Structure 1
């Protein structure tokens, strides 16, 4: 019987080297890309729907809450019925929801469409990473996961730019028409390029009890919790700056509303460089070692950020973002590899593993943006200290995992 890995290697070289990584990267990008693409359209959207700025913030909140709530189920569902049906089905629902948003005549209808968008977006974002471990092993899996992480990291930075360009050429509805078109293009690309990586003989029964049992099986693995929280805390330090970007850039650093690139370009750029380095050195260094190196760099960056914030340089750019950029570089090295390590904890439940890990990260980031950012945002030092605490907690969880694994 031919394994999924053998199937991938027997495919045409272009398909394996370019087609599959590109499609998987674009699939993983939909979730974060859809969060802030509508930001530039808020002004015209508010006029058309008679909604205030505070009310329009629900356009983001509704999406994120729905995304987090459904993320726990996409992976187990793919364990039961296969990866491709979940991806294709979620993309189709996402496209329909995007069209519904474009036709919305009131804020309530728009929020309903965004909720459905959020429920569907995780199907591609979460399951696409599971496919990587289904199809590839060792250094090849590291390289693929790093390539996907590059696009995943770029998505939050380019989303407002794309949204801004779209509202320059059309009304606010153009943003959602673009999302629908993007989903349909990915449906076609997935049908043409993605193999089914989870054969029938490996699938779990499609029953509610079985799906919940798969999640419970993952939750019973102590190593999962140590690694999931290690990745969540360190990534959370970076997300703190993303979620509080308007406070940091405009209120604390005194920059304009068009100057967000001064934060996002160095931070996201550093994460991309880290992800590229992870993929390049994956043949020479183990995943576990790359995670250790990455978190050491992130810890150094977080402490440097605190030191800079204690000086007058901390209140001006580019010095204010040097620390978090190093945190992001370390994250780029570590995050793809810690995800691969988690996927190997329960090989028969890889979908459930990725869903559970994504759920932990999404909930923490949502809570961080709502609860931690307003307090940290009282000063540049507050941001730096909060980020350092998160990184140290993540590094501590990873060191705990290493110690437990040696025992």
Structure 2
């Protein structure tokens, strides 16, 4: 077994967290081909992404509180087993309806890894150090979305879209082995809580009443929704509308993830020097700037790959800065129910993103306009949410150092 405070444990938790971006990003280049193979439209294939987010969101409401009672490790093991089975179902899906079922079940199982990995970091490292550890975890995890579209494009080219889900099943099997044989339980027995519905609901009510928790969560959800709007629409905009080859799409996606990677390094490097809220303000400002530029170019009728990818690299730089800090800020005040806090945080994040992504698919007009305007609005929403719900509270209570 690994030591809880070791670097190897952080890497293992980052690999578990990477399950989410792998399951969403790897099949992006294959979406147009999947629509053709299953004889359906872009809106139905895009729904496999939104339904995945919806299943992911619902599962988080269960796995966090259950892990507060029984521990993080057994819940993650059960989730990976379900993810593995669902990935096989997606591979064998004869129609888009079966694919939708498989994606929902895949999300329901896959949620346990990212949600409980965050909670485990809070269990092991405490409220202050968790922000720095989550930032460096995000740096490691950035390899997943950077490589996933390139790997997905290669698999599509040589083996067909089904091979994407075969690889996801193999990844889940590897993570299952790590959990069973190497990763110890991070939640001490003396900190475990009742799973009684009344207790769970009381924890959720407590969290929803905390202005700081809601502020950090909404900032995160807005930034993540901008990211998800790109995931929902970019393959149809760049590949179908602008004629970008699937392999080049994967390369461009890698550049976007590089922006996120640099942002996470900035977040980790300056976490102690600048503090959580200065970094979030910086990240939200960068997100807003990138999103507004993309929306402006699309509104002006400039429909070129650089006008989409360039501003989104800037947007993702901001996401990389604020994402780990908002996670740590939301979890910091609640060590007694870190699993429930991580669950509710993830539920709100994914639900808002699923709605935004669904709207991008429904109102897609064949150009980049709908996607770009959505990303611009989400960047502005992140900035406004932090200013109104978190920064103003800190100005009123300057002595409060908990958050």
TM-score interval for Structure 1 and Structure 2 normalised by the shorter chain? 0.7 to 0.9
Show the 5 A alignment for 1:269-280. 269-280=258-269
How far is 1:237 from its partner?
A: 2.2
- Which residue of 2 is the match for residue 246 of structure 1? 235
Show the 5 A alignment for 1:284-295. 284-295=273-284
For residues 247 and 91 of structure 1, the distance between their equivalents in structure 2, rounded to whole angstroms, comes to: 30
Are 2:331 and 1:337 aligned? no
- Select which of 349, 352, 363 maps to 2:351: 363
Aligned residue pairs, count? 392
- Select which of 323, 343, 350 maps to 2:338: 350
What do residues 226-285 of structure 1 show as CA deviations (whole Å, max 9, x unaligned)? 221111112322322221103431455443444323642332210111112211222423
Are 2:187 and 1:189 aligned? no
What do residues 196-245 of structure 1 show as CA deviations (whole Å, max 9, x unaligned)? 22111111112233223322221222222222111111232232222110
How far is 1:324 from its partner?
A: 2.2
How far is 1:156 from its partner?
A: 3.9
Are 2:380 and 1:392 aligned? yes
Question: Structure 1 370/107 Cα, relative in aligned 2: closer, same or farther at 3 Å?
Answer: closer
For residues 324 and 60 of structure 1, the distance between their equivalents in structure 2, rounded to whole angstroms, comes to: 20
Q: TM-score, normalised by structure 1?
A: 0.84
CA contact (8 A) 1:271 1:328 kept: yes
What do residues 60-79 of structure 1 show as CA deviations (whole Å, max 9, x unaligned)? 45433322221222211111
For residues 172 and 388 of structure 1, the distance between their equivalents in structure 2, rounded to whole angstroms, comes to: 31
How far is 1:125 from its partner?
A: 1.4
Question: Structure 1 52/392 Cα, relative in aligned 2: closer, same or farther at 3 Å?
Answer: closer
- Which residue of 2 is the match for residue 4 of structure 1? none
Question: Structure 1 402/305 Cα, relative in aligned 2: closer, same or farther at 3 Å?
Answer: same
- Which residue of 2 is the match for residue 178 of structure 1? 167
Show the 5 A alignment for 1:323-334. 323-334=311-322
Question: Structure 1 68/89 Cα, relative in aligned 2: closer, same or farther at 3 Å?
Answer: same
For residues 295 and 98 of structure 1, the distance between their equivalents in structure 2, rounded to whole angstroms, comes to: 35
For residues 363 and 176 of structure 1, the distance between their equivalents in structure 2, rounded to whole angstroms, comes to: 24
SS at match of 1:284: helix
For residues 324 and 337 of structure 2, the distance between their equivalents in structure 1, rounded to whole angstroms, comes to: 18
CA contact (8 A) 1:157 1:268 kept: yes
How far is 1:299 from its partner?
A: 2.6
CA contact (8 A) 1:42 1:53 kept: no
For residues 178 and 380 of structure 1, the distance between their equivalents in structure 2, rounded to whole angstroms, comes to: 31
User: Which region of structure 1 is more displaced relative to structure 2, 269-278 or 70-79?
Assistant: 70-79
Are 2:24 and 1:32 aligned? no
CA contact (8 A) 1:83 1:196 kept: yes
Question: Structure 1 105/92 Cα, relative in aligned 2: closer, same or farther at 3 Å?
Answer: same
Question: Structure 1 380/206 Cα, relative in aligned 2: closer, same or farther at 3 Å?
Answer: closer
CA contact (8 A) 1:69 1:119 kept: yes
Question: Structure 1 318/111 Cα, relative in aligned 2: closer, same or farther at 3 Å?
Answer: closer
> What is the aligned-residue RMSD (CA, Å)?
3.0
What do residues 163-219 of structure 1 show as CA deviations (whole Å, max 9, x unaligned)? 343455656554333322211211221234433221111111122332233222212
SS at match of 2:244: coil
For residues 46 and 376 of structure 2, the distance between their equivalents in structure 1, rounded to whole angstroms, comes to: 28
Gaps of 5+ in 1: 1-6, 10-15
For residues 171 and 248 of structure 1, the distance between their equivalents in structure 2, rounded to whole angstroms, comes to: 21
Are 2:66 and 1:77 aligned? yes
For residues 98 and 366 of structure 2, the distance between their equivalents in structure 1, rounded to whole angstroms, comes to: 35
Task: Specify which structure has the bigger relative contact order, considering alpha-carbon pairs within 8 angstroms and separated by 6 or more residues.
Answer: 2
How far is 1:136 from its partner?
A: 1.4
